[in-house]
Amino acid sequence: MTVHAGDHELVLDPYNYDFHEDPYPYYKRLRDEAPLYRNEELGFWALSRHADVHQGFRNSTTLSNRFGVSLDPAARGPHASKTMSFLAMDDPAHLRLRTLVSKGFTPRRIRELEPRVTEIAHQHLDVMVERAADGVVDYVNEFAGKLPMDVISELMGVPEPDRDQVRAWADGVMHRDEGVTDVPAAAVEASINLIVYYQEMVAERREKPTDDLTTALLEAEIDGDRLTDDEVLGFMFLMVIAGNETTTKLLANAAFWGHKNPDQLTPVYADLSLVPAWVEETLRYDTSSQILARTVAGELTLYDTTIPDGDILLLLPGSGHRDERVFENPDDYVIGREIGPKLLSFGSGAHFCLGAHLARMEARVALTELFKRIKGFDVDEANSVRVHSSSVRGFAHLPMTLEVA
């Protein structure tokens, strides 16, 4: 049975299509009526208020990551770290791996990548703008869905001729058809192909080091401790899952909400230094990463309720960002509003997103270069297609027409 947000009974079902279309009325009721919510049928608890989500992110002892951060049965369990690396670990294992990876994945490496990100953006924009001359283009297919994975390939050192194939596999890993909640065979096959490809790449770098991130990860060392090949592979896979899809969604969400709020976008065309503020408000208003799971370790008491050891607790950053206890007029899309450390999109505490600066740089470059080319755009809302996912929010297709500058 589907219960709508306005109906009497309050139900949070992360697999429900009505919820995917617009989760925000559900979130508001949760914050007001059930700040600690229990879903018996699906077997989880959920926190929806900003302060609780923030606190939840920071409590990495009682709220464990070691079974992964997804509600989906196939992605949950002690094997989660094989594909989610240190995101699916607790300290001290998490700290060791993250510290080693950080030696290769440095802010400086990201800074030095920016000119190449700009070039990759130009390559895809050239094609998109040319196709736009004939009418409607799919912004996700042509641009938002291509750039992030190509940037990861650039960072890792995937040769250019292989990048389309690697991107196709990455898409296959994430793709779910309507109504499919578990991992389909095609996604398993794509995962295996990707892992085999990366294994060969790691073996090549062991033989012949280059100046890419893959080599840097193999060479990272602390007091004689190094990453194993499997650990390097796990991190490469994390980049595909956590770094690719979320950035694609961010780029499309920015375009969509900009289109819906043209008054907010007009100043951005005139002053491209406002693009980072546009990115931040998009991250707040409609974040890619809506729902993250934790597993209670020990015992946790919240709102006079004791949550038993081993239970799943969902953190809802998408809800926290619309909490009027923290943001003024949270349901208004206001580019340039004060957000700062109140943003929950990249988490907080020990698991704060290692790729936050990469995502922000990519989004800034992508949207800046887009706006150098166009004077306006119009989204075909009727033919836009949302992604159906229990954790991320965004578009599979965003058809639009462009007014070329």
Closest CA to 176 of 19, 388, 397, 20: 388
H-helix or E-strand spanning residue 113: helix 107-132
Bridge partners for 221 per DSSP: 226
Give the Cα separation of 24 and 8 in Å (integer).
Answer: 16
- What's the pLDDT band for 243 if we cut at 50, 70, 90? confident
Give the Cα separation of 151 and 112 in Å (integer).
Answer: 12
Mind listing the pLDDT tens digit for each residue in 151-195?
A: 999 999 999 999 999 999 998 887 777 666 667 788 889 999 999
Residue, of 7 and 120, whose pLDDT is higher? 120
Mind listing the pLDDT tens digit for each residue in 76-134?
A: 999 999 889 999 999 999 999 999 999 999 999 999 999 999 999 999 999 999 999 99
Helix locations, 175-261, DSSP H:
185-207, 213-219, 229-238, 245-260
The pLDDT score that the predictor gives to residue 7 is 57
Report helix, strand or coil for 294: strand
Q: pTM value?
A: 0.95
- What's the pLDDT band for 324 if we cut at 50, 70, 90? very high
Domains of the chain, earliest start first: 17-404 (1.10.630.10)
